[in-house]
Chain A
Amino acid sequence: MARHTIASVRNESKLKVGFVSISGFLLWLGGYYLFYRGFVWLNDFQADTLGAGEMFTLGQILMARLLSLFALALFFMLIFSNVLIAFSTLYKAHEVRYLIQAPMSFGTLFLARFIECISFSSWASAFIGTPLILAYGVVHGAPVAYLVASALYYVPFVTIPAAIGAIIAMILVRVFPQLRMWASVTLAIVSILAIGWYAQQRITAERLGEDNVVIALFEATNQTQSPYLPSYWATAGVLSAGTGNYGDAAFYWFLLMANAGFATVVAIFASQLLYYPGYSYLVGQDRTRIRNMMRGPFAWATRALRFLRNPQRVITIKDMKLFWRDPAQWSQFVIFFGLMTLYIAFIRPGEIQRSSDFWRTWIICMNIGACSLILATLTTRFVFPLISLEGRRFWILGLAPLTFRQLIWQKFWLSVITTSFFTVGLVILSCIRLGVEPEVFALSLFSIVATNFGLSGLAVGLGAIYPNFQEDNPARIVSGLGGTLNFLLSVAYLTIIVGAQAMLLQSRVLNAYANDAQFQLAFAATIAFMLALSLLAWLAPLWLGLRNLNRMEF
């Protein structure tokens, strides 16, 4: 299958393959440069050595802590994505029906699908992780063994979260369908509150408001140093290889391998207990689900959207219903925004307002950055697949008397209005809690609105440039070339937007402007730059996407 997939790339337009390859490479290079500059900056903490007996400078320890933080974040992200991928690969994929009746044990079937899960979930993390690993190696002057070790550690490192994710997915399939709706919703809300509470206790941003940045960074990364975490084994092993300590490197590699093997065995054992009963239960559920279109929130939404003309109105209502009736879709949306809302609600404004202007401005910019990053994740995950999801149903829209221009704009406005409702609300809440000045409030608001337009334009446009009409699973659509490119371009775009804003505000804090008039000029120039970039991100992909759909055959 992999061979055929690679072969199919040869049949794609050379321009398209070239564009994706070059863009991907440039983004990888951009990521490498950012990590490299960051590590060089951290490496400058040379003065604070830890004493005569220590062989590391403080900068090197900070770099190692950041690597651990990245590995830990990646580890949890991989668990989360593997739960979703395992669910679709083990239960929802069309070929499962065929494989279930094939003469093989459920353990063998699980193992085959499990390997597919690992490959699906891990390649994007490799793309993001390699520039970081390389940048650290270059700044640290690590030997080739460091790079070899990084590659060797990768497979067992991604296997453990894949096994945990698959086990969680199999347990959820056994437990959730048997719970009543109210119990499921209560469980979900309690889980989100617990995660939010933990985040507030451990990694609240105001800790960065402390005077000593080094202490703040150490506190923030303390949790990454637990010897029970696979992310710690991976980081410690790779770093040992980097310093020529091959004994420790081998120890951590064997530790990681042994645990990856153990996790896989546990997952196979769990599959023998849980997989078939779960599959059977899912397939054998009472399939009579009644939805009365004349009652409930959608009836209300249909009346509220009467100002829209058809066909846009019915397509919008259809998209809303499809989203709402697929728990895998809206649950992720709720988790992302739920966590962000909790974080902003837990901010202690008094403490932040007492902290220095320098840190306060950073927190404001980081809040907008976090909102935009969540927005980029959501537009990639939910908006990018919208055109592809029409896929096999294109005979309905393709035969209807409507133009692709109407379809593209309908998807765009649906995305902008929905995401603006949440992100603009979050930024307003954040600015009020932080008690920012009116011009910073206006800039933040402008920034998030512009980002909404830019990111939605990118997602809808790239979704139309790189549609996948053969796939019904949004998670798989997103994990393709187009989805990855969309996420990387989105991150690059929002980095520039948030960076421009941070530069403007920090320059003022550092008294870089001679007078108010100079600041006003810089303010207007920043707004104009953000506007121009957002217009480009909004309109260019939409135009290219529309052109592609008009040329396309179905």
Chain B
Amino acid sequence: MITTENLTKRFGTKMAVNNLNLEIPKGEFFCFLGPNGAGKTTTIKMLTGLLRPTEGRAILGGHDIQKDPVEAKRAIGYIPDTPFLYDKLTGREFMHFVAGIYGMPDDQVSKVGEELMELFEISRVADQLIEDYSHGMRQKLSFASCFLHEPEIVIVDEPWVGLDPKNIRFVKDYLKQRTREGLTVFMSTHTLSIVEEVADRVGIIHNGKLLQVGSIDQIIALQDNPGSLEDIFLEMTRDTLEEMVP
């Protein structure tokens, strides 16, 4: 469902992502881990077509995001870490706007949109301007709008910021449930405890290079000093911490 072939991004002399090769099948919950500045967001931006790769390609739902962007974008939904929305629209208007840019018919928008707003508990504020929403409510609205057009792939960038524990639990369970129904999830996060709960496979990226890919058990088994996922992650990315703490 998601394939990257030698995906590379250079900013001047800085190598942000270096020859990334991934194969994520349909229905997999894939978690992408790495310290700050490792190349996670750059990878996500290349997967979503917001950045052009220096080399290599990304194929989503069978479509090259650079060569066939419109069809590739139909297949994906994206939830950013900071949900910048149109503040002067209401939540309901935003849902209709997103549905419109995906070309959904009006009757379907009303039905699916209301269901999603109910599900993500934003129905009661649906007619309020988004500028009056809290960060968590904005995040829930971006979740709800992401699922409007029934994407085959959802790309999520650190989605937990601003969500309360109840909503974190709900989002986690909802995404896991949808992967069982065939949705593919590519999630970048720092919250290792959640990764341990939901991930089918994990990829660890550091300094733009993919260090490990596999299930959590596989990754732990491959280490000389097996420990928790947190221990392994800290060990693999130690040079970054040493750079930060001289």
A322 close to B74 (CB less than 8 A): no
Decide yes or no: A293 and B100 within 8 Å by CB, A399-B76, A399-B78 being known contacts: no
Any B CB within 8 A of the CB of A180: no
* Contact partners of B73 in chain A: CB under 8 A: 399-401
Binds B, one of A206-214, A264-272, A312-320, A440-448: A312-320
Interface size classification for chain B: 35 or more
Q: Would you mind naming 7 contact pairs between A and B with Cβ atoms under 8 Å apart?
A: A287-B132, A288-B128, A311-B102, A314-B96, A321-B93, A397-B101, A398-B49
Across the interface, A400 reaches (CB within 8 A) one of B88, B89, B102, B131, namely B102
* Contact partners of B88 in chain A: CB under 8 A: 321-322, 325-326
* 4 A-B pairs with the lowest CB-CB distances in the bound complex, closest first: A314-B100, A392-B84, A311-B101, A287-B132
Decide yes or no: A322 and B89 within 8 Å by CB, A392-B84, A398-B49, A554-B51 being known contacts: yes
CA distance A293 to B48 in the complex (A): 31
* Contact partners of B92 in chain A: CB under 8 A: 293
B101 close to A288 (CB less than 8 A): no
* Contact partners of A554 in chain B: CB under 8 A: 45, 50-51
CA distance A290 to B91 in the complex (A): 10
Any A CB within 8 A of the CB of B70: yes
Name the distance in Å between B71's Cβ and chain A's nearest Cβ. 7
Any A CB within 8 A of the CB of B233: no
Decide yes or no: A289 and B48 within 8 Å by CB, A315-B101, A318-B89, A402-B101 being known contacts: no
* Contact partners of A322 in chain B: CB under 8 A: 86, 88-89
* Contact partners of A300 in chain B: CB under 8 A: none
Across the interface, A289 reaches (CB within 8 A) one of B74, B97, B98, B128, namely B128
Interface, chain B (partner A; CB < 8 A): 45, 48-52, 69-71, 73-74, 76, 78, 80, 84-86, 88-90, 92-93, 96-103, 127-129, 131-132
Any B CB within 8 A of the CB of A56: no
* Contact partners of B86 in chain A: CB under 8 A: 318, 322, 393, 396
CA distance A391 to B82 in the complex (A): 13
* Contact partners of B51 in chain A: CB under 8 A: 553-554
Other A-B pairs beyond A310-B100, A403-B70, 7, CB < 8 Å: A318-B93, A391-B84, A398-B48, A399-B48, A399-B49, A399-B50, A400-B73
Any B CB within 8 A of the CB of A515: no
* Chain B minimum-CB-distance residue to A552: B52
CA distance A399 to B154 in the complex (A): 12
* Contact partners of A311 in chain B: CB under 8 A: 100-103
Across the interface, B84 reaches (CB within 8 A) one of A288, A290, A291, A393, namely A393
Across the interface, A293 reaches (CB within 8 A) one of B49, B70, B96, B131, namely B96
CA distance A322 to B131 in the complex (A): 12
B50 close to A553 (CB less than 8 A): yes
CA distance A287 to B90 in the complex (A): 13
B127 close to A293 (CB less than 8 A): yes
A321 close to B89 (CB less than 8 A): yes
A401 close to B70 (CB less than 8 A): yes
